[in-house]
Homo-oligomer: A and B are copies of this chain.
Amino acid sequence: MNLDTLRFVLYEVLEGDTLNQYERFADYDRDSVDILIDSVKAFADKELYPYFKEMDEKPAHFADGGVLVHPQIEKIIAKGAELGLIGSGFEYELGGMQLPMLYNYALVHILDCANNHATGYGGLTTGAANLIRVYGSDELKEKYIPKMIAGEWGGTMALTEPNAGSSLSDLTTEAIPQDDGTYKISGQKIFISGGDHQFCDNFIHLTLARIKGAPAGTKGISLFVVPKNRIKEDGSLESNDVITAADFPKMGQKGYCTTHLVYGENENCQGWLVGQPNQGLKYMFRMMNEARISVGCAAASMATAAYYASLQYAKERPQGRKINNEGVKDVSSDPVLIIEHPDVRRMLLLQKSVVEGSLALILEASKLSDLHTVAEGEASEQAHLLLELLTPIVKSYPSEMGKVSIDNGLQILGGYGFTEDFILQQYYRDIRITSIYEGTTGIQALDLLGRKVPMHNGAAMQLFAQEVSKTIEIAKTLELQKSATELAQRMQQVAETTEKLLRYAGAGQYDHFLADATVYLEFFSTFVIGWQWLKMASTAKQALLSGEGSFGTDFYESKIHTMRFYFKYELSKMTSLAEVLIDEQSLTVDTFKEEVLG
């Protein structure tokens, strides 16, 4: 990874310093953040990266009724907690650091680049603790948050069931009210990341379940704290009848366990309601923005690490020769480094444009989350609205295009890329989960087109268009007119295409409206990253013109060059995607016969 690029986005593009005008974040100026970044980088280099390959080779696995993970996980959790990384955004009085999300995700990016198998343990514990922090009673907060923040107890978010994956409305885990105010829980959860291992005394499962008699569908889902072990009056632990039935062996991210939990097999599983009954999904989804930023961040980070691994190879590997003006290669000359070949440069620039564009978007979203928290009135609402719109892209673009990016990185290594001697193949396998968990790409697409685009009469889209226009206006003043004009034309294309699709919804043709939501997501995401690149290029240009930036001329010019690359090779995809979206043939909806397949 590249700390300069990270700092460029944090301090120059996003002007992170503006956050410390808010009392909550008053302690975070550039100097204090730099210290944090350096200490987390040192931690990542020393304790995370050296174990990255080993975690793949010695996967988390089920044994004797529990899950065994790599021994280094113990140290990573302990040291991570010591650095304050679990619940870093929590209030001081809860043991947190009141760290802005902007910087939190900068740190998570550093950790994810070093070892994406390890970061989820702390990340999900933070997410689970955060649900208790925001919606839980004081009793729950006192009981659980300190131990979770200290890394002694793990936390999970337990949504998925064997028959309810993307379709949460069908979940059947049951909660029966008891006289003492608790609930008796029974059911099964699968794919629970970080759900069990040998290094925490307890796991606090933030579990979605249906209170007996509750309405069908998503309206009857409640949220419970269900610990693996109950806390007795004397503080000691006793089993709460949450059995770890299995750990799923996976293609990648093998160091990060994926458990199958069975609740109440012996009718002795107790749960504590969080907040109000039947509001569980709403609570969970308020946290979902954060979880989805985390997945986007993990994906962008894997792709970043893969990019630098392939770049290093390209700078060291001699192979082939340049073509001369007669179209031939002079074999009497020495072979050149493969970074000299235009096709290799294309693959490198593709990666760079994807990973830096992703990082910028993730940090932008994180800052919006901060503004939603600390700003007031309209400013807070607008930040939230924009964050809601961007979240499906923050989650899915780094996952989908990160996959393509790593694919290009692997290709640069040729045959070596496919061997286990080189690390590219591990990133290639690891990143594949990010398009799936915390809502598949298809789910993100439905969220974007079906909910976020139309919500509040298109208010988020209008706000987004205004933000883009600001970027375009600035770029126009900076000798970036051509790119600014191109982005403006693309914005027009987004508007027209969206309007055309919304007409189907207006006509009650919801099937048709949403049939190509995934294509729309790709179309829109490609634009959003183009917007991020124009922002970055403008910031770079400003620094070049003013001479006041923190980085060198080459650094800033590289951002402008990469923006041009993205516009030429990636933004151009929008033309074809728009063709697909406005084509009125309906090939997957009403005219569809199943016999078409097979």
Segment at the interface with B among A78-86, A101-109, A460-468, A561-569: A561-569
A157 CB to closest chain B CB, in angstroms? Answer: 14
Is A13's CB within 8 Å of the partner chain B?
A: no
Within 8 A of B (CB), among A145-185: 160, 163-167, 169-170
Nearest chain B CB to A34 CB, angstrom units: 20
Chain A interface (Cβ < 8 Å from any Cβ of B): 2, 160, 163-167, 169-170, 190-191, 216-218, 248-252, 258, 311, 315, 318-327, 329, 331-332, 335, 339, 341-346, 348-349, 352, 403, 407, 410-411, 414-415, 417-421, 425, 428-429, 432-433, 435-437, 440-442, 445-446, 450, 505, 508-511, 513-519, 554-555, 557-558, 561-562, 564-565, 568-569, 572-577, 579-580, 583, 585, 587-589, 592-598
Q: Are A440 and B428 in contact (CB under 8 A)?
A: no
CB contacts (< 8 Å) of A587 on chain B: these are 349, 561, 564-565, 568
The reply to whether B518 and A414 contact each other, CB–CB distance below 8 Å, is no
**A583 and B568 contact, CB distance less than 8 A:** yes
The docked-state distance in angstroms from the alpha carbon of A453 to that of B14 is: 48
A428-B432, A450-B327 as given contacts; A339 in contact with B251, CB under 8 Å: no
Cα distance, A562 to B509, chains bound together (Å):
23
Question: Which B residues are in CB contact (< 8 Å) with A407?
Answer: 403, 432
Kindly report which residue of chain B lies nearest to residue A410, judged by CB atoms.
B432
Minimum C-beta distance from A240 to chain B (A): 25
A343-B580 CB under 8 A given contacts A331-B216, A415-B191, A418-B252: no
Min CB distance A52 to B, Å, is 16
- Which residues of chain B are within 8 angstroms of A583 by Cβ–Cβ distance? 568, 572
CB proximity of A538 to chain B, nearest CB, Å: 18
> A167-B320, A343-B517, A436-B415 are contacts. A568–B596 as well, Cβ < 8 Å?
no
- Residue of B at shortest CB range from A403? B407
Contact A170 B335 (CB under 8 A): yes
21 A-B pairs, CB-CB below 8 angstroms?
Answer: A160-B415, A163-B319, A164-B319, A167-B321, A170-B335, A216-B331, A339-B594, A342-B592, A345-B588, A346-B515, A346-B588, A348-B597, A410-B432, A411-B441, A415-B436, A418-B436, A554-B595, A558-B595, A558-B598, A568-B580, A574-B576
Residues of B within 8 Å of A592, CB to CB, are 342, 345
Across the interface, do B327 and A505 meet the contact criterion of CB distance under 8 Å? yes
Closest chain B residue to A584, Cβ basis: B568
Give 19 new A-B contacts, CB below 8 A, not counting A339-B594, A562-B596: A169-B331, A250-B418, A325-B510, A342-B514, A343-B515, A345-B597, A411-B435, A411-B442, A425-B432, A428-B432, A429-B429, A554-B593, A561-B587, A564-B585, A565-B587, A568-B583, A572-B580, A574-B576, A575-B576
**Which of B403, B421, B598 lies in contact with A248, CB distance below 8 A?**
B421
Does B414 lie within 8 Å of A311, measured CB to CB? no
Which single member of B344, B410, B440 contacts A414 (CB below 8 Å)?
B440
Q: Is B595 touching A568 in the complex (CB atoms < 8 A)?
A: no
Query: CA separation between A572 and B523, bound complex, in Å?
Result: 14
A332 contact set on B, CB distance < 8 A:
216-217
| A346-B433 Cα distance, complex, nearest whole Å | 20
Assembled-state Cα–Cα distance A425/B274 (Å): 38
Contact assessment for A596 and B511 in the assembled complex, using a CB-CB cutoff below 8 Å: no
**Given A311-B597, A561-B596, A569-B580, is A415 in contact with B554 using a C-beta cutoff of 8 Å?**
no
Closest to A576 in B: B576
A176, B566: Cα distance in complex, Å: 52
A218–B332 alpha-carbon span in the complex (Å): 11
Measured CB to CB, the closest approach of chain B to A171, in angstroms, equals 11
* A2 neighbours in B (Cβ, 8 Å): 598
Are A511 and B331 within 8 A (Cβ)?
no
B576 with A251: CB separation less than 8 A: no
Contact present for A419 and B349 (CB under 8 Å): no
Contact A349 B414 (CB under 8 A): no
Docked Cα-Cα span, A346 to B518, in Å, equals 9
CB closest residue in chain B, given A419: B248
Bound-complex Cα distance A549 to B344 (A)? 48
Contact of A349 among B166, B346, B597 (CB under 8 A): B597
Tell whether, in the assembled complex, residue A596 and residue B250 are in contact, meaning their CB atoms are under 8 Å apart: no
B554 x A343 contact (CB < 8 A)? no
Complex-state Cα separation, A574 to B325, whole angstroms: 29
Alpha-carbon distance between A437 and B416 when the two chains are bound, in angstroms: 11
Q: Indicate if the CB atoms of B579 and A165 lie closer than 8 Å.
A: no
Measured between beta carbons, the chain B residues less than 8 angstroms from A579 are 572, 575
Chain B residues within an 8 Å CB radius of A250: 418-420, 425
A109 CB, min distance to chain B CBs, angstroms? 17
* Residues in chain B near residue A322, CB distance under 8 A: 511
